[in-house]
Structure 1
Amino acid sequence: MTARRGPLPRPPAARNRGRSVLALVPNEGGLAITELPSPNQDERPPGLPIDTLILHYTDMETGAAAIARLRDPEARVSSHYVVEEDGQVFRLVPEERRAFHAGLSSWRGNEMLNGRSIGIEVVNPGHSCGYRPFPALQMAALADLCLGILSRHPIPARNVVAHSDVAPDRKRDPGELFDWRGLASLGVGLWPEGVEGGDLSVVPGGMARAAELMRRIGYPVDPARPDVALVAFQRHWRQEEWGGRPDAGTLARLEAVAALAGAG
């Protein structure tokens, strides 16, 4: 275990269309991490950079149950870290090793991302067990953890992604209640500040344009079902409405995120 945790985060300070925007404060005194090794790991493929950070939710009733599964050799799943709702952080797999967290996945043309990514499981019951907002203390600890990871590896902001971003046909985590905007305000990932997303107006040819922009950002887009990737995009960057419709608000956010992603 490392140094003691520093100051607690400030409480939520603002609201955006009914969703909280957390005023997150990184812990100045260092992040305490408890080692709970998982057998579900192996060597990373040689020559691959660690250039992607993938955030998940546990989708189980308790954090203890999730950790038990992530350490079960028969389950063959793991993550590098788990962040509990009270801010406790557990390391299951060293960063230099490959954890089994992303499965079939793709981002910016790279496939099977376990070999080049770090995975963090954020404890939440998920859509299967009673999805709920992520506590401020948990998000503050997660921000600290992510900032440390980003300081150690060449991970660009555009490669800080959701599990649902890299596997939109299979996954929906960490979901539409996750505070991506708050993390981005601290330097973890991208957020298109000042771009309104509430316009529900129909846009002729909107889906074709949406698919083009999603590919530019990095999404694996199925030509037969581009709406599947669009739901994933909306859960991340357009949380006001995430039904898979390419309306004007969605396209505005897509254009903005594509521009940010293109800038690195």
Structure 2
Amino acid sequence: MDLRAAGIQARSAVRSTTESLVPIWHPSPNFGPRRDGLEPSLVVIHYTAMDSAEAALERLCDPAAEVSAHYLIAGDGRLWQMVREEDRAWHAGAGEWRGQKDINSRSIGIELDNRGDHPFSELQMAALENLLQDIMDRWGIAPDGVIGHSDMAPGRKFDPGARFDWQRLERKKLAQQRSFGENPQAAAMQSFRALAHDAGFTAEADDEVLLAAVRLRYRPWAKGPLEPTDLSPLRNTIRRT
């Protein structure tokens, strides 16, 4: 097959994945009703940290494991649904976002077949984008309601990890866009914590753990002590009221 034909075939595969969002129904027993009449206002993105999508699917549907998610996307773009969106899947655990706890009752969980140490495939990202758009339209979820597991549970969880392409979602308005100011103010931990809190990072964490969680979301390549550019991505993430 020549390169042109290979390119056409690849584009066709992406289209077929993104244009057809009928998930494979594979019900999990691990769910319950959403509490206090809550409806989804967040989407939490995870990686599975397992060797295959099939292994993750088995665990997410194992009653002994007591974990689940609403959706699972394989590396080749296959999409499974395990829990109805109206129900409360058990994917987020302890943590909080914007001062609110019980994230399971407030969110839809999406698991991505990835160990966390390699890039997410094009087919997988294309399927995720289409799924996110459908969910956000269906429930009226704004881009700032799409978060990573590490955002709401800093220091406890690290997914979807440093290899996840948040900027790709931001460009398509499927996640809160970062803002890099030309003249950021001098970095100070007090200012950083205030900005992080206003952006939604309200879970209890010391300075080092909070900095690591924010960097994992916005600047996963960054190392060392707090610097001015750590504040920049947070400046435009404050929810408009």
The TM-score normalised by the length of structure 2 is 0.87
User: Which string of whole-angstrom CA distances, capped at 9 and with x for unpartnered residues, describes residues 70-116 of structure 1?
Assistant: 00000000000000000000000010011000000200011021011
1:238 to 186, 205, 219: 219
Q: CA deviation at 1:227?
A: 2.1
Point out the structure with the larger helix share. Answer: 2
1:154 to 140, 147, 157: 140
Which residue matches 1:17?
none
Q: Residues of 2 paired with 1:229 and 1:122: CA distance?
A: 24
Q: CA deviation at 1:263?
A: 2.8
Which residue matches 1:120?
110
Which residue matches 2:227?
247
Q: Residues of 2 paired with 1:170 and 1:176: CA distance?
A: 15
Instruction: Decide whether the 8 Å contact of 2:178 with 2:234 is kept in 1.
Output: no
Which residue matches 1:89?
79
Q: CA deviation at 1:26?
A: 8.5
What SS is found at the alignment partner of 2:57?
helix
Unmatched tracts of structure 2, length 5 or more: 1-10
How many matched pairs? 231
Instruction: Decide whether the 8 Å contact of 1:32 with 1:88 is kept in 2.
Output: no
Distance change (3 Å), C-alpha of 1:246 and 1:90: same
Q: CA deviation at 1:230?
A: 1.8
1:34 to 8, 24, 41: 24
User: Which string of whole-angstrom CA distances, capped at 9 and with x for unpartnered residues, describes residues 213-243 of structure 1?
Assistant: 10000102536x12212211111112331x4
Q: Residues of 2 paired with 1:79 and 1:244: CA distance?
A: 34
User: Which 4+ residue blocks in structure 1 deviate beyond 6 angstroms?
Assistant: none
Distance change (3 Å), C-alpha of 1:142 and 1:95: same
What SS is found at the alignment partner of 2:163?
coil
Deviates more, 1:97-106 or 1:176-185: 176-185
Which residue matches 2:8?
none
Q: Please tell me whether residue 262 in structure 1 is matched to residue 239 in structure 2.
A: yes
Instruction: Decide whether the 8 Å contact of 2:44 with 2:146 is kept in 1.
Output: yes
Q: Please tell me whether residue 132 in structure 1 is matched to residue 118 in structure 2.
A: yes
2:64 to 74, 84, 101: 74
User: Which string of whole-angstrom CA distances, capped at 9 and with x for unpartnered residues, describes residues 231-256 of structure 1?
Assistant: 11111112331x4632011122222x
Q: Please tell me whether residue 226 in structure 1 is matched to residue 210 in structure 2.
A: no
Q: CA deviation at 1:169?
A: 2.4
* Identical residues among aligned pairs (%): 36
User: Which string of whole-angstrom CA distances, capped at 9 and with x for unpartnered residues, describes residues 53-72 of structure 1?
Assistant: 10000011111111111000
RMSD after superposition: 2.5
Q: CA deviation at 1:9?
A: 4.1
Which residue matches 2:192?
210
Instruction: Decide whether the 8 Å contact of 2:97 with 2:203 is kept in 1.
Output: no
Instruction: Decide whether the 8 Å contact of 1:26 with 1:143 is kept in 2.
Output: no
Q: Residues of 1 paired with 2:135 and 2:190: CA distance?
A: 36
Which residue matches 2:33?
43
